[in-house]
Amino acid sequence: MSDSTSRPIKRALVSVFHKEGLEVLAQAFVKANTEVVSTGSTAKFLANLGVNVTPAEEVTGFPECLEGRVKTLHPHIHAGILADMTNPDHASQIKQLGIKPFDAVVVNLYPFADTVRSGANEAETIEKIDIGGPTMVRAAAKNAATVAIITDPDDYSILADRIITGEGFTLSERRYLAAKAFAHTAAYDATIIEWASQRWTKPQSLGGKDSFDTYTRAWDKAQTLRYGENSHQNATLYIDPLTHDDFAHAELLGGKPMSYNNYVDADSAWRSVWDFKNDIAVAVVKHSNPCGLAIGTTVAEAHKKAHACDPMSAYGGVIAANTTVSLEMAETVKHIFTEVIVAPDYEPEALKLLQTKKNLRILKVPTAPVTHEQIRAIDGGLLVQDMDVFQSSGDDSHNWTLVAGEAADEATLKDLEFAWRAVRSVKSNAILIAHDGATVGIGMGQVNRVDSSHLAVDRANTLADGANRTRGAVAASDAFFPFADGMKILTDAGVKAIVHPGGSIRDEEVFAAAQEAGITMYVTGTRHFFH
């Protein structure tokens, strides 16, 4: 294992917040008679394990002060970490200064993310920003030429082994540990940036809103997924270190582990039901698109209505509900092959019943979606945008403009409001036909609005066992109609009212065609493209 670049570990600096796992190191220190320098409670912990520890204060000749804000920030510590002992000049300088070099530094940092997640106030959170720790970690990582830096308790056993054998680490091993340590401090700082930038925004006195010149975020690895979108693609789930109770932290109450595609579809489904915060809503999603979405007076009713939109596509789909899943709903779901069900909670009997379906992944997510930005990778870059959330300006029907026909009656307006919220979840170009708080025909993901209109009408009527579901229904379009043709497909099929953003240069042509067809048309002024 060792080579000519190996350096035995004769003197170590240990300063850790989490003391778990230190026993194995303590045994090694005792066995190899390693000189150990340590801070406050770490020193006590090691001393209790029989290690002969020198307190950091003895090395610095300076008391720990400012409630622990200053413990190791001292040249007698940092010159000992940073002296490159392969450099004769460094070696002689620290000798003259009476400073001894360290061969290994073991540090883990104040639990900043845990503190935020615990709901601590700002002052408590600030105290959990570790300063001395990352300074030692970065110094030791910079000096991988002669120092081994250990930040991961999983590496304690190998460190103990190398202390006992006297081999230490080779240069390439120290360099790897250094890279790992830099990743650790970078992620730590990125987490602090995420927290701080949400609170400490640019004040007007400095010019107000803008973003930093670098996009810095840390994501914690939660699990390696079996594979990605296809079996030849590797995939990993990373989660926000500062949040909990959200979709990415979902509790799996039954079924097999989630796959990459399960996460993508279930996230879409989860988001779409929360577009209906004031209603009980259920979505059935396939390939990120709803094949049914409905609101109801009960969750079971909402599910039945959503499922009825397209029972064929619901096979192998993902179901999301924005309220507790009832036994009545579970009894229906039991008979439908479903990949994932996601809800804030389950009635105990419903859960028991669903858990009998071994292949059904049952997710519990206590909170509505929290993510406020959307990140998408492009070749060589990232696109970051605000989440598409409903705007009171254009999405509230009070602010819609009637551009053709009579003002909608109460029931029709309710359906239009439903259709407008529901179409947000459909991939563009999106045309959605709805009736009685349920989608009845969805035209998704087409490259022109005419095809989306055809698709919505065809799906509404061909999947309905001979019933005509477009006559008397309403429709929503996620963006304006560039021509009247797409709209005419809907009115020819009997749709009685349409809502869309407007904004086309041919708006007047579209409005006139709507007038001529005798339907009601509203424009919202807000678009909801979803690519």
Ligand X SMILES: NC(=O)c1ncn([C@@H]2O[C@H](COP(=O)(O)O)[C@@H](O)[C@H]2O)c1NC=O
Which of the residues are catalytic? 142, 287
C-alpha distances (whole Å) from 402 to each of 260, 272, 392, 481, 498 are 43, 26, 17, 16, 10
Q: Does 70 bind ligand X (CB under 6 A)?
A: yes
DSSP string of 278-292, one letter each residue: TSEEEEEEETTEEEE
**Minimum separation from the CB atom of position 77 to ligand X (A):** 8
Containing 343, the helix (H) or strand (E) segment is strand 338-343
- Report the distance separating Cα 74 and Cα 4, nearest Å: 32
The pair of structure tokens assigned to 285 is 């999603």
Task: Give the residue, chosen from 110, 247, 400, 522, that forms a contact with ligand X under the rule CB under 6 A.
Answer: 110
Task: Give the residue, chosen from 68, 153, 228, 472, that forms a contact with ligand X under the rule CB under 6 A.
Answer: 68
**Minimum separation from the CB atom of position 339 to ligand X (A):** 43
496-515: which residues touch ligand X (CB under 6 A)?
A: none
- Report the distance separating Cα 59 and Cα 49, nearest Å: 21
**Minimum separation from the CB atom of position 239 to ligand X (A):** 23
DSSP string of 441-499, one letter each residue: EEE-S-SSHHHHHHHHHHHHHHTSTT---STT-EEEESS--SSSHHHHHHHHTT--EEE
**Minimum separation from the CB atom of position 15 to ligand X (A):** 4
Q: Does 73 bind ligand X (CB under 6 A)?
A: yes
Q: Does 219 bind ligand X (CB under 6 A)?
A: no
Which stretches of 320-463 are DSSP H helices? 327-333, 348-355, 392-395, 410-423, 449-462
**Minimum separation from the CB atom of position 19 to ligand X (A):** 8
The pair of structure tokens assigned to 498 is 């349409």
- Report the distance separating Cα 4 and Cα 177, nearest Å: 18
- Report the distance separating Cα 360 and Cα 66, nearest Å: 54
The pair of structure tokens assigned to 119 is 């709901």
Which residue, 70 or 164, has its beta carbon nearer to ligand X? 70
Q: Does 107 bind ligand X (CB under 6 A)?
A: yes
Q: Does 60 bind ligand X (CB under 6 A)?
A: no
Contact 433, 470 (CB under 8 A): yes
Which residue, 135 or 197, has its beta carbon nearer to ligand X? 135
Q: Which letter does DSSP use for residue 70 in this model? A: B
**Minimum separation from the CB atom of position 386 to ligand X (A):** 35
Of 64-72, 178-186, 296-304, 379-387, the window that binds ligand X (rule: CB under 6 A) is 64-72
Q: Does 109 bind ligand X (CB under 6 A)?
A: yes
φ, ψ of residue 133 to 5 degrees: the values are -60, -60
Q: Does 62 bind ligand X (CB under 6 A)?
A: no
- Report the distance separating Cα 6 and Cα 4, nearest Å: 6
114-173: which residues touch ligand X (CB under 6 A)?
A: 130-133
Q: Does 187 bind ligand X (CB under 6 A)?
A: no
Which residue, 185 or 262, has its beta carbon nearer to ligand X? 185
Task: Give the residue, chosen from 72, 272, 425, 470, that forms a contact with ligand X under the rule CB under 6 A.
Answer: 72
Q: Does 71 bind ligand X (CB under 6 A)?
A: yes
Which residue, 149 or 269, has its beta carbon nearer to ligand X? 149
Pairing of β 497-500 and β 520-523? parallel
Which residue, 118 or 359, has its beta carbon nearer to ligand X? 118
28-47: which residues touch ligand X (CB under 6 A)?
A: 39-42
2-21: which residues touch ligand X (CB under 6 A)?
A: 15-17
Burial of 27 (0-12, 13-18, 19+ CB in 10 A): middle
**Minimum separation from the CB atom of position 59 to ligand X (A):** 12
Pairing of β 431-435 and β 474-477? antiparallel
Contact 324, 347 (CB under 8 A): yes
- Report the distance separating Cα 494 and Cα 253, nearest Å: 44
With CB under 6 A as the rule, give the number of residues binding ligand X. 21
**Minimum separation from the CB atom of position 66 to ligand X (A):** 8
Which residue, 152 or 167, has its beta carbon nearer to ligand X? 152
Q: Does 472 bind ligand X (CB under 6 A)?
A: no
**Minimum separation from the CB atom of position 84 to ligand X (A):** 22
- Report the distance separating Cα 3 and Cα 71, nearest Å: 35
Strand, helix or coil for residue 380: coil
Task: Give the residue, chosen from 1, 31, 69, 337, that forms a contact with ligand X under the rule CB under 6 A.
Answer: 69
**Minimum separation from the CB atom of position 257 to ligand X (A):** 34
Spell out a b/e string for 93-107, using b for 16 or more CB atoms within 10 Å of the CB, else e.
ebeeeebbbbbbbbb
Cα dihedral: 39, 42, 44, 48 (round 10):
-140
Which residue, 137 or 299, has its beta carbon nearer to ligand X? 137
- Report the distance separating Cα 146 and Cα 363, nearest Å: 49
Q: Which residues bind ligand X (CB under 6 A)?
A: 15-17, 39-42, 68-73, 107-110, 130-133
